[in-house]
Amino acid sequence: MKNSPRVAAVSALIGAFLSLPPSSASHADPAHPGRRTGISSSGGPAVRGRETAPRLGRRDAAGGRIGLGIHQVSPAVHRMAETRTDRERLVRWWTPARMRRADPLDDLVALQTTRRPVPGGLPSETPASSPSAGAAWTSGGGVAHTTGRVFFTYQGHPASCSGNAVTSANQSTVITAGHCVRLDRAWHTDWVFVPGYHDGQAPYGKWTAMRTLTTAQWEAREDLDYDVGVATVAPLNGRTLTSVVGGQGIAFNQRRHRPMYAFGYPAEAPYDGSKLVYCSGTAKEDPGKTHDLGLTCDMTAGSSGGPWFTGFDDRTGTGTQNSLNSFKYNALPNEMFGPYFGTAVQALYDKAQNT
């Protein structure tokens, strides 16, 4: 076994262990033997208290679910809160207190193998134009509106990730990580996006998902190379998501080794999920010899699904999304890795924006 197993960062991926016996808790990545999914920086409590959300009508889209064949390429689709009553109940259920209480599922279980803790210290505040391995974003701009926290229920537990609103035909598309919409062959429920989240506040509203989607490769075998998820959210007060908060650009099949900015809401120490954090630098190759991208970044659990931008303008807070926070290696706690946005991710985005 490798000394630096691959670990799914930075949010809900550890939730898979809640439904596995202790002997299965290492959850090997079948696509890359020797690498493992999931992170935790402490032994942690085994399980926290469950909470029951409103029962909402949900079913898989007809023809949306795919089998486990590795050659299938159609994105997987899951229907969620479809009626106005469902959505109103869900918005009421995600109170400020419950959002503050929502933990990355990494913190809900004790792992047999854990990565060493991220170095301590409080998040720093550096000029936006300076390279950063993790600092509070204080420059405002578009990213402070389009990026937000994602909240959902997994096996009865309120949990969180990060996400980003992008330009789309339906003006209602949120990009996040695949494990932030589906894990261990089960879709998350009670899914909402809170752009501009700050310490329990939802300045631009709580946007409920009508559908969540992921790549065929993530649905079939939870392949971290395709760890991308999308949500299409319902209108709020008669308006679409990007008509309220704007939308960042998105691009596919771009060249590698480019300057990047990464954003998210890390909620594990030394962070607490209350504010937007960013990292910046030049993207690098994954030492695990995958097609994924790497970036020096100490963001922790809860930042999964947060966007990576190329061509980012720190004066306007706008850029083009080209990856996202997905996983880390045990031996490289200050390096973040994200999937390459290629043809499979483009198909997922196209399916979502036309749904």
Q: Quick: pLDDT tens for 218-231.
A: 999 999 999 999 99
> Would you say residue 128 has pLDDT above 50?
no
Position with higher pLDDT, 100 vs 17: 100
Kindly state whether residue 64 falls inside one of the protein's structural domains: no
Q: How confident is the model at residue 270 (pLDDT cuts 50, 70, 90)?
A: confident
Q: Is 72 helix (H, G, I), strand (E, B) or coil?
A: coil
Q: How far apart are the first and last CA of the chain?
A: 42
Containing structural domain, residue 219: 6-45+79-353
List b or e across 4-35, with b for residues whose CB sees 16 or more CB atoms inside 10 angstroms.
bbbbbbbbbbbbbbbeeeeeebbbebebbeeb
> Would you say residue 11 has pLDDT above 70?
no
> Would you say residue 115 has pLDDT above 80?
no
Interval 317-325 mean pLDDT:
96
Q: Is 48 helix (H, G, I), strand (E, B) or coil?
A: coil
Kindly state whether residue 60 falls inside one of the protein's structural domains: no
Position with higher pLDDT, 164 vs 138: 164
Kindly state whether residue 55 falls inside one of the protein's structural domains: no
Looking at residue 126, its pLDDT comes to 35
Position with higher pLDDT, 98 vs 2: 98
Query: Mind listing the pLDDT tens digit for each residue in 299-314?
Result: 999 999 999 999 999 9
Q: How confident is the model at residue 110 (pLDDT cuts 50, 70, 90)?
A: very low
Kindly state whether residue 69 falls inside one of the protein's structural domains: no
HSE-up of residue 302 (Cα within 13 Å, Cβ side)? 32
Looking at residue 284, its pLDDT comes to 94
Pair of tokens at residue 22: 């202790």
Task: Give Cα separations from 323 to 19, 84, 161 (angstroms).
Answer: 29, 33, 15
Looking at residue 71, its pLDDT comes to 43
> Would you say residue 122 has pLDDT above 70?
no
Pair of tokens at residue 302: 């809860």
> Residue 2 class from Cβ within 10 Å (0-12 exposed, 13-18 middle, 19+ buried)?
middle
> How far apart are alpha carbons 277 and 143 in whole angstroms?
11
Residue 329 maps to which CATH number? 2.40.10.120
Q: Where are the alpha helices (DSSP H) in the chain?
A: 84-93, 96-101, 143-146, 216-221, 241-245, 343-353
Give the rounded percent of residues in the chain with a pLDDT score beyond 90: 54
Q: How confident is the model at residue 108 (pLDDT cuts 50, 70, 90)?
A: low
Interval 167-171 mean pLDDT:
96
For residue 190, the surrounding DSSP H or E stretch is: strand 189-195
Kindly state whether residue 129 falls inside one of the protein's structural domains: yes
Interval 321-332 mean pLDDT:
92
> Residue 97 class from Cβ within 10 Å (0-12 exposed, 13-18 middle, 19+ buried)?
exposed
Query: Mind listing the pLDDT tens digit for each residue in 37-77?
Result: 333 333 333 333 445 444 443 332 222 322 333 444 687 77
> How many domains does the chain contain in total?
1
- List the Cα angle 173/268/166 in 5-degree steps: 15
> Would you say residue 331 has pLDDT above 90?
no
Query: Mind listing the pLDDT tens digit for each residue in 191-217?
Result: 999 999 998 999 999 999 999 999 999
Q: Tokens 């930075």: give the residue.
A: 10
Pair of tokens at residue 177: 């990580």
Cβ pair 200, 97 in contact under 8 A? yes
